[in-house]
């Protein structure tokens, strides 16, 4: 059996294979509530044969949405909307369902990508973003509101409440979003965190609030359910001195801290906190970061970033560089990518019975069955 199609246990949850549908923002919610588009989008991906599907970044409060079109889980209306989505997905697929919980911080109140992505001022329907410090993303934008200690305590509780709602909804797992320049990453990176109190300055201090949030969520989340953390392994700002940027050695320390307080996987991405980042793109360009983290933790590590070919994914796992691979754009381009990967690597996938007759003649065992009766 290929490494890609070997099951993986995360506490009481068993993934049938190591392919994960990465959370993908769709910018199509209305006041935080998922819409029919999400049912169509995720319904298709739920039939992909992947080992786990993660619902897009979901905000713990309205001000934590990246754009006005981003999903939230912060009141009864947003919970009810997600309940309908979960019911629909459960009715068509056995795929394990996770949800990514986070807060956009100073990157909130942005326009949708097809609208330019710039900060939306309050006068145009936006809101004032918050952050660890009053440090703007760019010099031509107003600074975010710097969160006080009391506001940090209240916001941590919103993460807990979102966790409790996710459990009520029946999600199998949660991924905490600590990457891509959003709020938890903003605390971690000295580029965005200019605080002088117990949450700023040293690496230990900058990690403190994100770890408090994760620990509070772990306490609120059932012990048998897995909880993971997505991190950015570097700010891609090698022009700055080591102490003025977030980089892989820092990410490794943070991953180890998360492991100690109950993390079940680390999802390793990169970048997002600085518009001056210089990213070197290429196939699997973030895999070396996942490999570096994996060498220093004992929990599974997920690799992401321009992983597009089945044998490329297999090599990542077989080479010990990661334990899971997550695809986003590749699955949008080819929603049956896991089927094709199983055919190429002699694996099997879950597929709805309605599709059992679709496999080519040469791959009759692709769906784990060999006969299909018909009168």
For residue 357, what pLDDT band results from cuts at 50, 70 and 90? confident
- What percent of the chain has pLDDT above 90? 93
From the list 27, 74, 182, 199, the catalytic residue is 182
pLDDT of amino acid 370: 47
Read off the pLDDT band of 237 (50, 70, 90).
Answer: very high
Quick one: pLDDT band at residue 1, thresholds 50, 70, 90? confident
Q: Mean pLDDT throughout 144-168?
A: 98
For residue 20, the model assigns a pLDDT of: 98
* Residue 272 domain flag: yes
Which pLDDT score, from 0 to 100, does residue 369 have? 60
Cβ partners under 8 Å of residue 246, min gap 6:
185, 188, 189, 190, 191, 232, 234, 235, 273
**Domain hosting residue 65, numbered range:** 8-363
pTM score, whole prediction: 0.95
Q: How far is the C-alpha of 318 from the C-alpha of 296, rounded, in Å?
A: 18
Q: Do 312 and 287 meet the contact criterion of CB atoms below 8 Å apart?
A: no
**Mean pLDDT across 81-90:** 98
Inside any domain, residue 16: yes
pLDDT at 313 over 50: yes
Given the structure tokens 């590749």, which residue do they identify?
330
pLDDT at 218 over 90: yes
- Indicate if the pLDDT at residue 368 is higher than 80: no
Look at strands 71-72 and 52-59 and give their pairing: parallel
| Domain assignment of residue 2, yes or no | no
Residue 358 in domain: yes
Number of folded domains that form the chain: 1
**Nearest Cα residue to 17 out of 7, 25, 26:** 7
Q: Give the whole-angstrom CA distance, residue 112 versus residue 109.
A: 9
> Tokens 């048998």 map to which residue?
224
In degrees and rounded to multiples of 5, residue 269 shows phi and psi of -115, -155
| Contact partners, residue 76, CB within 8 Å, separation at least 6 | none
CB 229 within 8 A of CB 217: no
- Residue reference for tokens 């330019």: 116
The values of phi and psi at residue 334, to 5°, are -140, 85
- Write a three-state SS string for 221-284: CCCCCCEEEEEECCCCCCCCCHHHCCCHHHHHHHHHHHHHCCCCEEEEECCCCCCCCCCCCCCC
pLDDT at residue 361, rounded to an integer: 79
Mean per-residue pLDDT, 226-251? 97
pLDDT at 371 over 90: no
pLDDT in tens, 324-345: 999 999 999 999 999 999 999 9
CATH number for the domain that contains residue 333? 3.20.20.70
Answer yes or no: is 369 within a domain. no
Indicate the DSSP class of residue 52.
E
Instruction: Report whether 102 contacts 182 (CB < 8 A).
Output: yes
- Side-chain half-sphere CA neighbours of 170 within 13 A: 13
Query: Tokens 């109140």 — which residue?
Result: 109
pLDDT given for residue 359 in this prediction: 82
- In this predicted structure, the answer to whether residue 126 has a pLDDT above a threshold of 70 is yes
Query: Does the structure show a pLDDT above 60 at 207?
Result: yes
**Mean pLDDT for all residues in the chain:** 96
- DSSP state, 145? E
Residue pair 183/104 in contact by the 8 Å Cβ criterion: yes
The pLDDT assigned to 360 comes to 84
Give yes or no for residue 373 having a pLDDT over 80: no
What are the beta bridge partners of residue 14?
A: 9
Q: Is 285 a catalytic residue?
A: no
Residue 70: alpha-carbon gap to chain centroid: 14
pLDDT of residue 319 exceeding 70: yes
**Residue 1 placed within a domain:** no
- pLDDT band at residue 293, thresholds of 50, 70 and 90? very high
Task: Fill in the DSSP letter of residue 125.
Answer: T
**Token pair of 328 as six digits:** 């986003």
Q: How large is the average pLDDT for residues 167-190? A: 98
As a whole number, mean pLDDT of residues 186-215 equals 98
Looking at the predicted structure, is the pLDDT value of residue 76 above 90?
yes
| DSSP-assigned states of every residue in 65-80 | -SSTTSEE-SSHHHHH
Q: What angle do CA 220, 221, 224 make, to 5 degrees?
A: 140
Average pLDDT on 301-312 reads: 97
Is residue 189 pLDDT above 90, yes or no? yes
Whether 32 is covered by a domain: the verdict is yes
Residue 371 counted as domain residue: no
Q: Which has more confidence, 362 or 129?
A: 129
């Amino acid at each position: 059996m290929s490494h890609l199609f070997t099951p993986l246990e995360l506490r009481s949850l068993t993934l049938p294979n190591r392919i994960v549908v990465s959370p993908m923002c769709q910018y199509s919610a209305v006041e935080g509530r998922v819409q029919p588009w999400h049912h169509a989008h995720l319904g298709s991906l739920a039939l992909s044969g992947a080992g786990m599907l993660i619902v897009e970044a979901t905000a713990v409060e309205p001000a934590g949405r990246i754009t006005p079109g981003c999903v939230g889980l912060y009141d009864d209306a947003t919970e009810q909307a997600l309940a309908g989505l979960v019911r629909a997905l459960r009715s068509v697929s056995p795929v394990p369902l996770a949800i990514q919980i986070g807060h956009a911080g100073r990157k909130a109140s942005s326009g949708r990508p097809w609208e330019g992505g710039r900060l939306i001022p309050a006068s145009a329907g936006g809101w004032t973003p918050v952050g660890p410090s009053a440090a703007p993303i760019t010099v031509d934008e107003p600074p975010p509101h710097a969160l006080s200690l009391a506001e940090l305590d209240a916001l941590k509780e919103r993460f807990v409440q979102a966790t409790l709602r996710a459990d009520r909804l029946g999600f199998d797992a949660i991924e905490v979003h600590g990457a891509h320049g959003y709020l938890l990453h903003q605390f971690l990176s000295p580029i965005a965190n200019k605080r002088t109190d117990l949450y700023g300055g040293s690496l230990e201090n900058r990690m403190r609030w994100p770890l408090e949030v994760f620990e509070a969520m772990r306490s609120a989340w059932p012990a048998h359910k897995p909880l993971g953390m997505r991190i950015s392994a570097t700010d891609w700002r090698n022009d700055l001195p080591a102490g003025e940027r977030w980089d892989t050695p820092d990410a490794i320390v943070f991953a180890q801290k998360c492991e100690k307080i109950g993390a079940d996987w680390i999802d390793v991405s990169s970048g997002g906190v600085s518009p001056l980042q210089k990213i070197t793109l290429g196939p699997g360009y973030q895999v070396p970061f996942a490999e570096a983290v994996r060498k220093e933790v004992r929990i599974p590590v997920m690799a992401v970033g321009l992983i597009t070919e089945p044998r490329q994914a297999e090599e990542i796992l077989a080479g010990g560089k990661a334990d899971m691979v997550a695809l986003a754009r590749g699955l949008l381009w080819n929603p049956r990518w896991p089927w094709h990967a199983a055919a190429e690597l002699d694996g099997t996938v879950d597929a709805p019975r309605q599709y059992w007759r679709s496999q080519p003649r040469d791959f009759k065992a692709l769906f784990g069955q060999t006969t299909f009766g018909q009168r």
